[in-house]
Amino acid sequence: MKDRMRYAVTRFFAKFDTVPQATIAEKLAVSERTVQRLREGSNEPSEGTLDRMREMIDRHDTEVLATDSERIARAEQIRASHEKQQREIALSTYQDKLEKRYPLWFNRVKTYIAAERYDDAIETILDHRQDRTTWPHIDKEAKPYILHALGVAYYRTGRNLEALEASEVAVAGLVKDGRNSASSELHAWCIVMKGLSLMRLFRAKEAFTHFEDAILIRPETDGAYYNALCCASLLKEKDLVGYWAGRYIEAVSRFNVHDINDVLMRVEKDKDLVFLRELPIIADFKARLLREQSERAK
């Protein structure tokens, strides 16, 4: 066992001999002094450190020995994973500007969502929602925000039917006592979430209704236009793609620069927009966004 461990340690430092010691320490989650002792052989690695060493060796060998097609496939997988995290929900970490009276535990939920620990966020919300002694006493204006967070966490973990249901309950809570301008942004994004969930449930045609509703509630909701365009592209309906590309351009003056920059980046690689990229209108669409971007920079 010790011989295999020494072989692994020796192999590790042979492969990463030129890597700065501080970088190795960070990757192994140990101190630089520990790295030096491991290198010299005066210390033996813990089981966790040894596992991390072997993992780094395996990743190094996989990259070095990979074919070009394997590297391309891996890069695409990484890109797709990042895209899934950064996708169309600009409000996934929606912050309540009016500081609703959240229960203290909801701060933990927001931290989980920011750290992409969606299962932990779901478990925390459900634990409190199912508690009949505490949930009824949560401020009624805070509940839709909590349920929106639940819908986001469900969506991010691929539980699209549950995301749809959570968003529907959130919307019902917002509408129950009448609509108001204070909740219009959240209201619109809850409806966008319903549309997104329907898209992932292969009910793209139904999703359009929700994106339209979100725009009626709050015309500045960039995600409603963008995801309607994604829907049209997924359906491969040329006229519908043209219609929603036009609607996005007509509304672009309502969006902030960050939204415009984000769409310019996504339109080049979003897997939902493959059909759009095959159409001649893509050139004009990007040109108009670039023009708006340029004018904002003046």
Rounded Cα distance between 127 and 140, Å, is 18
Same domain (yes/no): 146, 53: no
Same domain (yes/no): 122, 193: yes
Q: What is the pTM of this model?
A: 0.64
Same domain (yes/no): 155, 211: yes
Rounded Cα distance between 150 and 193, Å, is 11
Same domain (yes/no): 103, 34: no
Indicate the residue among 217, 245, 278 that finishes a domain.
217
Let me know: does 124 contact 187? Beta carbons within 8 Å. no
Quote the pLDDT of residue 92: 41
Instruction: State which residues form the domain around 205.
Output: 93-217
Q: Does 61 fall in a domain?
A: yes
Residues 6+ apart with CB under 8 A from 244: 225, 228, 229, 231, 232
Let me know: does 9 contact 45? Beta carbons within 8 Å. yes
Q: Does 84 fall in a domain?
A: no
Amino acid, res. 185: E
Q: Does 22 fall in a domain?
A: yes
Rounded Cα distance between 10 and 127, Å, is 48
pLDDT along the chain (298 residues), means of 10: 78 84 84 88 86 84 70 61 47 46 84 89 92 85 89 92 93 69 78 92 89 92 92 91 93 86 87 92 92 78
Same domain (yes/no): 44, 140: no
Same domain (yes/no): 137, 26: no
Quote the pLDDT of residue 81: 54
Quote the pLDDT of residue 94: 47
Q: Which pair of structure tokens corresponds to residue 18?
A: 């030129």
Same domain (yes/no): 249, 288: yes
At residue 174's C-alpha, the angle toward residues 168 and 177, to 5°, is 130
Same domain (yes/no): 151, 210: yes
Rounded Cα distance between 92 and 278, Å, is 30
Quote the pLDDT of residue 174: 83
Instruction: Indicate the number of domains in the chain.
Output: 3
Q: Does 269 fall in a domain?
A: yes
Rounded Cα distance between 148 and 214, Å, is 14
Same domain (yes/no): 197, 107: yes
Same domain (yes/no): 47, 123: no
